[in-house]
Structure 1
Amino acid sequence: MKENDLVALLVDLPGEGLRRGDVGTVIEVFRKNAHHPGGYLLEFVEETGAVYAHANITDESQLVQLRFKREAA
């Protein structure tokens, strides 16, 4: 996944007030190194565009990337 990708949560994140299926945008990608486990900073917005949550995800298996057009395999 890369910055600006749309993703959906595959798990509930009650600490952030997020539920499985919520859709967010990857706003930063953290590369794994000796000081950081790697992962993604996600932003979640309402239909009005107002941000209602941010979440740090270190386990990519908690996300699914959403695609709206077909890409070459």
Structure 2
Amino acid sequence: MDTLKLFDVVALLKDRPQEGLVRGQVGAIVDEYAPGIFDVEFSDTQGRTYAMAIIPAAELMWLCHQLAHAA
């Protein structure tokens, strides 16, 4: 997968203490402000949002729940 897009599930690749987030936390892309700059929503298992952060693609990893073919 080359490009992140709206509604992709992603994980943080580094801590973001200014937002109270740590590496590995999972969120969903809810908006794209500029190419490669995303608004990510972080929610608990009950669906309650606990953080929103604007994060560059370089700090995110796409999570996949299906078979992905290596190139």
Cα deviation digits, residues 18-55 of structure 1 (max 9, x gap) = 000000000011234xxxxx500000001111100001
Query: How much is the aligned-residue C-alpha RMSD, in angstroms?
Result: 1.4
Cross-structure match for 1:35: none
Cross-structure match for 2:64: 67
1:4 and 1:71 map into 2 onto residues whose CA distance is 18
| Percentage identity across paired residues of the two chains | 39
What TM-score, normalized to structure 2? 0.85
Moved over 4 A (4+): none
Name structure 1 gaps, 5 residues minimum: 33-37
Name structure 2 gaps, 5 residues minimum: none
Look at both structures and tell me which one has the larger radius of gyration over its CA atoms: 1
